[in-house]
Amino acid sequence: MGYTRIGFANTVKFVVILFLVFIVASLGSALYFMVKDKGQGERTVRALTVRITLSVVLFVLLMLGFYFGFITGKL
């Protein structure tokens, strides 16, 4: 009972796409808060902090995946 090579690759693709969707959603919410609060609120900063954190986590996960051989070649 284990992942096949294709099944695991599809799982990795799904996780990467999910992270990218959350990153874009966080960026969109930051834009919305910036316009709504006219640049005076802290919600914009919080949303951008979430975006940066998600981006760094995705980068680290991809690097670890390549290092340990979970990801080979193109996704």
Give the residue with greater pLDDT, 4 vs 71. Answer: 71
pLDDT band at 2; cut points 50, 70, 90? low
Question: pLDDT value at position 50?
Answer: 95
Q: What is the pLDDT of residues 9-58, one digit of tens each?
A: 778 889 999 999 999 999 999 999 999 988 788 999 999 999 999 999 99
Measured distance CA(64)–CA(29) in Å, rounded = 29
Quick one: which of 42, 45, 47 has its CA closest to 24?
47
Q: Is the pLDDT of residue 74 over 70?
A: no
